[in-house]
Amino acid sequence: MKFQFHKNDKINTQWYILLLGIILMILKFIAYFHTHSNAILSDALESIVNIIAGAFGLYSLYLSAKPRDFDHPYGHGKIEFISSSLEGGMILFAGLSIGLKAIYGIIHPSPIYKLDIGILLIAISGALNYLMGAFAVKKGRKKHSLALEASGVHLKTDAYTTIGVLVGLAIIHITGFVILDNIIALLMSFLIIFNGYFILKKSMSGIMDEADFELNKKVIQHINSNRVPEWIDVHNFRIIKYGEIIHIDCHMTMPWYFSLQQAHDQMKDFEKCLQNSVLNPVETFIHIDPCIPKSCSICSVENCAYRTAPFKEKIEWTLDNITKNQKHQYSQNK
């Protein structure tokens, strides 16, 4: 894949992550060959995972940036969830491998050499990892890219493990307790496994279209605050993520006597309201339902010539009632 600046800055950021990962991996292996430290080796092995995950993350960002086509009518954004799940799985594997190597080192300890050089090289790589990781997480959240955010979390995790390694190496350098090297590596493996599980869980939620309750509440609160009387009711409300694109579909009740043009105009206003509720690109699929007699008690449309019952109450849309596949009505049991 030929390197070039891309008009998509998410892709450019992932390029920087990949190139930095290669440089840091070389630094860490140089440090390991100088010191023969298992803690440093654990850091170096995780860098291999960084590079593999970074390469696949770069490919996923290229693919997700492609416009929708005949074969992919919802676009290619789902690849970002697959990319982050692969990265999470590799982080888990790296953590387990590092843990096993540390246990073996505790049982069969080996000497450590030239810690001063190792500490310096690892300190440089840790600082660079954290800076790039923080930048990638910020960019990923701003651009709503799970793949880029996962890469950033991975780099920051790598930096945290590096801090642990540095502290341990400093103690070993001062005290000469070589066994601490493997104990530190074992502790770092637990941290790596935890972060791998977190990334894997989040990506699998995206693949399985698990409901994002916080996002739902945010959108529902926005449409509640901006609703108009003609939006009599909304139900069967669902949100699905396709990479950075949010797809929203629902059923919307309007006065049955509206012309097709009137209903269309109200629907377009509702779509704009949905689009303004989040920063992500939003696409919608809205099914229009005509009101029925039991809708009158919750309908606040004034001067309706077809009203069959007086207005009783305005139903506040909530996560619990708006997602059900049924029209709302006034309950006298309240």
Rounded Cα distance, 136 and 145, in Å: 10
Q: Write down the pLDDT at residue 304.
A: 92
**What is the CATH code of the structural domain delimited by 213-322?**
3.30.70.1350
Sign of torsion, CA 31 192 9 63?
Answer: positive
Q: Write down the pLDDT at residue 168.
A: 74
CA atoms within 13 A on the CB side of 291: 26
Rounded Cα distance, 111 and 113, in Å: 7
Q: Write down the pLDDT at residue 267.
A: 96
Range 9-207 classified under CATH 3.10.180.10: no
Domain boundaries, the chain: 9-207, 213-322
In DSSP notation, 82-121 reads: HHHHHHHHHHHHHHHHHHHHHHHHHHS------HHHHHHH
Rounded Cα distance, 66 and 215, in Å: 25
The SS3 of residue 248 is strand
Contacts for 220 with CB less than 8 Å, ≥ 6 apart: 237, 317, 318, 319, 322
CA angle 185, 188, 193 (to 5 degrees): 125
Q: Write down the pLDDT at residue 1.
A: 41
Q: Write down the pLDDT at residue 3.
A: 43
Mean pLDDT by 10 residues, the chain (334 residues): 54 81 85 78 75 78 76 75 79 79 76 74 84 84 73 77 75 76 78 82 79 91 95 94 84 95 96 92 93 92 91 91 86 52
Q: Write down the pLDDT at residue 146.
A: 67
Q: Write down the pLDDT at residue 149.
A: 76
